Amino acid sequence: MTTAAKKSTVVFDEFFEMGLEDHVSPFLTPQSRKWGVNIMLRSSILSAILLAAAFFLRFIPNLEPLSNFCLMGVYFFAGVPALIESIEDIFKLELNIDVLMTLAAFASVLIGSPMEGGMLLVLFALSGSMEDAVTEKAKGAISSLYKLSPSTAAVVEEDGALHDLSIKDIAPGTKILIKAGEVVPLDGEVVEGASSVNLVHLTGENMPVAKALGDQVPAGGKNLEGSLTLRVTRPSSESTVARIIKLVTIAQDAKPRIQRWFDSVSEKYAAVVIFLTAFFAISFPFLFNLPFLGEEGSLYRSIAFLIAASPCALIIATPIAYLSAISACARKGILLKGGVILDAIEKCTIIAFDKTGTLTTGELKLAGIESLQDAGDENLALSIAYALERNAVHPIARALTDYAAGMGIKPAKLSSFKSIPGYGLKGECEVGSQKVPVAIGSPEHIIPDISQEKARLLETLAKEAKKNGQVLAVLLIGSDAVLFRFEDILRADMAETIHSLKKTGDWRLMILTGDHRENAQKIAEGLKLDEYYAELKPEDKLRIVSDLSVKEGLIMVGDGINDAPALARASVGISMGKGASTTAIEAADVVLLNDNLNKLSWLMAKARQTKSIVTQNLVLAAAVILLATTPALLGYVPLWLAVVLHEGGTILVGLNALRLLK
614-638 pLDDT per residue, tens: 888 888 888 888 888 888 888 887 7
Mean pLDDT of the region 493-498: 87
Tell me the range of 85-94, 234-243, 313-322 where mean pLDDT is highest: 85-94
pLDDT of 26 > 90? The answer is no
Helix 494-504 vs helix 600-634: angle between axes, to the nearest 10 degrees? Answer: 40
Q: What is the pLDDT of residue 176?
A: 94
* Helices 114-135, 639-657: inter-axial angle, 10-degree rounding: 30
- The least confident of 178-182, 261-265, 497-501, 587-591 is 261-265
Tell me which range, 71-80, 250-259, 311-320, 443-452, is most confidently predicted by mean pLDDT.
71-80
Q: Is 258 exposed, middle or buried (0-12, 13-18, 19+ CB in 10 A)?
A: middle
Note whether 251 and 568 are within 8 A (CB). yes
Whether residue 311 is predicted with pLDDT greater than 60 in this model: the reply is yes
Whether residue 72 is predicted with pLDDT greater than 90 in this model: the reply is yes
Tell me the CA distances in angstroms from 471 to 90, 393, 401, 450, 536, one per residue in order.
65, 16, 16, 20, 19
Grade residue 233 by pLDDT with cuts at 50, 70 and 90.
very high
Task: Give me the chain's average pLDDT, please.
Answer: 79
275-302 tens-digit pLDDT: 888 898 898 888 888 888 766 778 878 8
**427: which strand partners?**
417, 438
Mean pLDDT over residues 552-561, rounded? 85
* 568: pLDDT strictly greater than 80: yes
Tell how strand 572-576 and strand 360-371 pair up: unpaired
Mean pLDDT of all residues in 392-405: 84
- Asked if residues 144 and 582 have their Cβ atoms less than 8 Å apart, the reply is yes
Helix, strand, coil distribution of the chain in percent, nearest 5 = 55, 20, 25
Query: So what's the pLDDT on residue 36?
Result: 60
Residues with catalytic function: 354
Q: Which segment of 61-70, 136-145, 327-336, 416-425 scores lowest on mean pLDDT?
A: 136-145
Q: What angle do CA 633, 634, 638 make, to 5 degrees?
A: 75
Q: What's the confidence (pLDDT) of residue 254?
A: 42
What is the DSSP pairing of strand 152-156 with strand 162-166? antiparallel
With cut-offs at 50, 70 and 90, classify the pLDDT of residue 350.
very high
DSSP designation for 533:
E
Per-residue pLDDT of 359-381, as tens digits, reads: 887 778 888 888 877 666 888 88
Phi and psi (nearest 5°) for 113? -130, 60
Q: What angle do CA 612, 616, 619 make, to 5 degrees?
A: 140
Least confident of 39-53, 243-257, 462-476, 501-515: 243-257
Which tens digits make up the pLDDT trace of 148-196?
667 788 999 888 888 888 888 899 999 999 988 888 988 899 999 888 8
Q: How sure is the predictor about 231, in pLDDT bands with cuts at 50, 70 and 90?
A: very high
- pLDDT score at 603: 92
- Virtual CA dihedral for 303, 309, 315, 318, nearest 10 degrees? 140
pLDDT score of 53: 93
pTM across the whole model: 0.60
| Distance of alpha carbon 105 from alpha carbon 95, whole angstroms | 16
CA-nearest of 206, 208, 167, 204 to 188 is 167
Whole-number pLDDT of residue 28: 60
β-sheet with 208-211: strand ranges across: 208-211, 195-198, 222-223
Check whether 577 has a pLDDT greater than 50: yes
Q: Please indicate whether residue 200 or residue 330 has the higher confidence score (pLDDT).
A: 330
Tens digits of residue pLDDT in 104-130: 778 778 777 788 778 878 877 776 675
Per-residue model confidence (pLDDT) at position 70? 93
For the sheet with 590-592, list strands across it.
334-336, 590-592, 572-576, 554-558, 350-353, 508-512, 531-533
Q: What is the mean pLDDT of residues 629-658?
A: 76
Give 453's Cβ-side CA count (13 Å radius): 5
Mean pLDDT of all residues in 235-249: 68
